[in-house]
Amino acid sequence: MTESSIISLDEEAVQNNVAFLKKKIGKNVIISAVVKANAYGHGIEEIVPLFEKYGIKHYSVFSYEEAIRVYNSLSDPHPIMIMGWISDENMIDIIKKRIEFFIFNTERLQVALSYAKSLNTKINIHLEVETGMNRSGLNINQLNSAISLIKENKDYIDVVGFCTHLAGAESISNHSRIQKQLKKYNQLLTVLKKNNIKPQYRHVANSAASFVYPKARMDMVRIGIMLYGFWSSTEVFIQYINNKANKTDPLDRILSWKSQIMSIKDVKCGEFVSYGLSYLAQTNIRTALIPIGYASGYSRSLSNKGIILIQNQICGVIGVVNMNMIIADISNLPDAKIGDEVVVIGKQNGLEIKVSAFSEISDQLNYEVLAHLSESIKRTVANKQ
């Protein structure tokens, strides 16, 4: 290993997850792969070709920059949908590349329309409506304004989608709120239809909603975390397996993160380890220095709490997590040597450290742990045998 650490992606896991989701969601519903936040830490340039290989034909991102990375990673043209940030100066490029984007305020629609007219071409838009999340989306007055603009400029606007975002489908505590959102969405959809505007795709569901609220699947679902092998929450997983004889998880984790021992040191009883006074050696111990830290996405909240795998044994992370280094107690590994493999996330023989181990210790969401994995870490694909 020439790099300080490497993230590896399992192609068979990608194939498994895509096949499972396609089977469960049904052939009449399009899966849009959500690849924002560098594909949940997996790497856009590495994961998108794999998704494409196994039949994903629609992609959702947050920003223009992510859209261009997806655009450049695809071997064939497929729809790309920007759900969030676009600066005015990037709008022309988006329109020329036929990239779709959310309209969540009338200002954006007016800007996009002006560029469409200057280019004498159509914009491909998804009208996002406010249904109770109170984050982004058109309220009824703004929707009516947008409808007027669309009707006046039919030659320049293609309404590809009509969408909203549900506020926490992964938790039963949000059930009544989500039911109200779905009712509101359908009311606003009726307004659209009365004006003879018929979107190609109705879409409201993320990973959790696709399983908890099957009726919310509509024409398209925006699947993120489940494609990568994670359930949105324990609640969603339990609900899925509840009436099934086979209780094993049908999803496979795609990502593993490995490093190596950089240095080994003996520390005497009574000595402190790393910054400050948070770790005091209670006996003579042996430590391994590993070249990852919070700059690479290994959170400082894992100081004196994290675990790693070396030589098929779990070793504790001791002392404060540094910017570029962590220290592990390897007192039980007398044969450990510089260069030995260190598994940060993933499997080593029969043992495994899951992303959930991070989240449970550090109070971070799975999403958060993955999104914090530095883009500077090299990503590789473990191809099928």
Tell me the per-residue pLDDT of 373-382, one tens digit each, with 9 for 90 and over. 999 999 999 9
> Total structural domains in the chain?
2
Residue 379 lies in a domain: no
Instruction: For residues 313 and 301, give the distance between their C-alpha atoms in angstroms, rounded to a whole number.
Output: 22
DSSP-derived 3-state class of residue 116? helix
Structure tokens at 329: 């107690």
CA distances in angstroms from 112 to 60, 96, 143, 145, 370, listed in the order given: 19, 12, 16, 15, 33
Instruction: For residues 329 and 307, give the distance between their C-alpha atoms in angstroms, rounded to a whole number.
Output: 10
Q: Same structural domain for residues 58 and 117?
A: yes
223: domain CATH number is 3.20.20.10
For 180-221, the pLDDT digits (tens) are 999 999 999 999 999 999 999 999 999 999 999 999 999 999
Instruction: For residues 322 and 300, give the distance between their C-alpha atoms in angstroms, rounded to a whole number.
Output: 7
Q: Which amino acid, one-letter code, is at 107?
A: E
Work out the percent of the chain whose per-residue pLDDT is above 70. Answer: 98
Q: What is the pTM of this model?
A: 0.94
Boundaries of domain holding 279:
255-353
345: domain CATH number is 2.40.37.10
For 325-367, the pLDDT digits (tens) are 999 999 999 999 999 999 999 999 889 998 877 777 766 778 8
Instruction: Point out the domain boundary residue: 241, 273, 300.
Output: 241
On whether the CB atoms of residues 204 and 216 are closer than 8 A, the answer is yes
Instruction: For residues 317 and 288, give the distance between their C-alpha atoms in angstroms, rounded to a whole number.
Output: 9
Nearest to 286 by CA among 325, 338, 363: 338
Which residues are part of the catalytic machinery? 36, 275
Residue 366 lies in a domain: no
Residue in this structure with the two tokens 């099957």, named with its chain if needed = 214
Number of CB atoms found within 10 A of residue 307's CB: 16
Binding residues: 135, 323
For 23-74, the pLDDT digits (tens) are 999 999 999 999 999 999 999 999 999 999 999 999 999 999 999 999 999 9
Q: Same structural domain for residues 263 and 335?
A: yes
Q: Same structural domain for residues 347 and 322?
A: yes
Instruction: For residues 288 and 275, give the distance between their C-alpha atoms in angstroms, rounded to a whole number.
Output: 16
Instruction: For residues 117 and 153, give the distance between their C-alpha atoms in angstroms, rounded to a whole number.
Output: 9
Instruction: Point out the domain boundary residue: 214, 241, 268.
Output: 241
Q: Same structural domain for residues 36 and 176?
A: yes
Q: Same structural domain for residues 234 and 274?
A: no
DSSP-derived 3-state class of residue 362? helix
Structure tokens at 223: 């699947």
CA distances in angstroms from 101 to 84, 95, 125, 126, 333, listed in the order given: 8, 9, 5, 6, 54
Q: Same structural domain for residues 131 and 224?
A: yes
Q: Same structural domain for residues 302 and 221?
A: no
Q: Same structural domain for residues 237 and 343?
A: no
- The b/e string for 94-127 (b: 16+ C-beta within 10 A; e otherwise) is bbeeebbbbbbbbebbeebbebbeeeeeebbbbb
Residue 22 lies in a domain: yes
Binding residues for substrate: 135, 323
For 83-92, the pLDDT digits (tens) are 999 999 999 9
Nearest to 93 by CA among 63, 73, 136, 56: 63
Q: Same structural domain for residues 316 and 260?
A: yes
Strands 313-318, 307-310: pairing is antiparallel
